[in-house]
């Protein structure tokens, strides 16, 4: 029974991945400059949020190491 769910999950994942790829290709074909700018903006936002998450995680770990209670 779980084998069927796993197979369905994989198929749904592949369908979403294919739809996403086709959408990006279509957008890039019809609107190359807008798509490139939007892609760079999204990647920059993800990079900034990853750096912020890393710094917040480091701050919380240092507080816990000193014995201070977390929030």
Q: Does residue 18 sit in the same domain as residue 6?
A: yes
Q: Does residue 66 sit in the same domain as residue 42?
A: yes
Q: Does residue 12 sit in the same domain as residue 36?
A: no
Q: Does residue 17 sit in the same domain as residue 40?
A: no
Task: Give the other-Cβ count within 10 Å of 49's Cβ.
Answer: 10
Give the largest Cα separation in the chain, rounded.
Answer: 57
The confidence score (pLDDT) of residue 56 equals 86
The confidence score (pLDDT) of residue 13 equals 97
Proportion of the chain above pLDDT 90, given as a percent: 65
Which domain, by its residues, includes 41?
Answer: 31-71
Question: The tokens of 65 are what?
Answer: 């190491």
Q: Does residue 52 sit in the same domain as residue 70?
A: yes
Return all residues near 34 (Cβ < 8 A) that are at least 6 apart: 27
- Give me the number of domains the chain comprises: 2
pLDDT confidence band for 71 (50 / 70 / 90): low
- Whether 41 has a pLDDT exceeding 60, the answer reads yes
């Amino acid at each position: 029974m779980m084998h069927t769910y796993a197979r369905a999950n994989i198929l749904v994942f592949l369908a979403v991945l294919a739809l996403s790829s086709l959408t990006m290709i279509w957008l890039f074909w019809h609107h190359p400059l807008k798509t490139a700018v939007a892609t760079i903006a999204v990647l920059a936002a993800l990079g900034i949020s990853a750096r912020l998450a890393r710094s917040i995680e480091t701050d919380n770990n240092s507080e816990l190491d000193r014995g201070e209670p977390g929030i």
